[in-house]
Chain A
Amino acid sequence: MNVRILYFARLREDMGLAQEMFDLPAAVGDVKSLRAQLVARGGASAAALGSGKAIRVSVNQDIAREDTPVKAGDEIAFFPPVTGG
């Protein structure tokens, strides 16, 4: 029941990794609860993903919201607000 999690830009640096596989607990059903689970690990995850950080999330390469569903096999990315163009 894994999801692939990607980190970009400042978040990649803060996490110290570009991607990881995460075993999805049964209680995690959306973006908000996934982020809370990651933060609960403490350390870099708590510092990079904790509340107060401006973070955008995508699920399967579409911009997501806090209540966007998350399920096994999904590709989820966390990143700062975008600055292209």
Chain B
Amino acid sequence: MAVRVQREDFDSGAEIAAFRRADPGIGAIASFIGLVRDANDGDAVAGMTLEHYPGMTEKALAGIVEQAKARWDIIDALVIHRVGELKPLDQIVMVAVTGAHRGAAFAACEFIMDYLKTQAPFWKREQTAQGTRWVEARTSDDQAAARWGEPQAK
């Protein structure tokens, strides 16, 4: 299991190649990449700053991956999340899950993203023509996490 929080961009192809390590037991890799959009809530977005809680962020992400491994028959999971200054088109987050079969890999990948969105301590501040503003949490993200049926806080 690997969890990384970093300012630098990542190469998703190279990350997946390194992550699968020529393991012949892997029959499926499901991956997700989140990107910076150029608009949010009807306003043009010129860029954003991603703040996080060093220490807790890594602990929270590792905990989410452990929950995914307990719930699905997957081999491993990789999470990379960027912080700092980001612009539209930039990559923000990558999740990759390896398994013997696709079903568990797809489900675990989506679960990790849904939980990351609602439990990992990151905050976005975006720049618009009206100035900078903190991005508001979405109830749709809470609903997406809740459908997995586990309590979000222990």
Decide yes or no: A85 and B154 within 8 Å by CB, A8-B51, A9-B123, A61-B55 being known contacts: no
CB within 8 Å of B: which A32-85 residues: 54, 58, 61-65, 77, 79-85
On whether A85 and B134 interact (CB within 8 A), knowing A9-B125, A61-B59, A62-B154, the answer reads no
Q: How many residues of B are in contact with the other chain, CB < 8 A?
A: 30
Q: How far is the CB of A77 from chain B (nearest CB, A)?
A: 6
| Chain B binding surface, main DSSP class | mixed
CB distance from B30 to the nearest CB of A (A): 16
**CB distance A84 to B137 under 8 Å?**
no
- The interface size of chain A toward B, counting residues with CB under 8 Å, comes to 19
A85 near B121 with CB under 8 A, answer no
| Contacts A83-B135, A85-B113 known; 13 new A-B pairs at CB < 8 A | A8-B51, A8-B53, A10-B134, A61-B53, A61-B56, A62-B154, A63-B119, A65-B153, A77-B53, A77-B56, A77-B121, A84-B92, A84-B93
Residues of A within 8 A of B (CB): 6, 8-10, 54, 58, 61-65, 77, 79-85
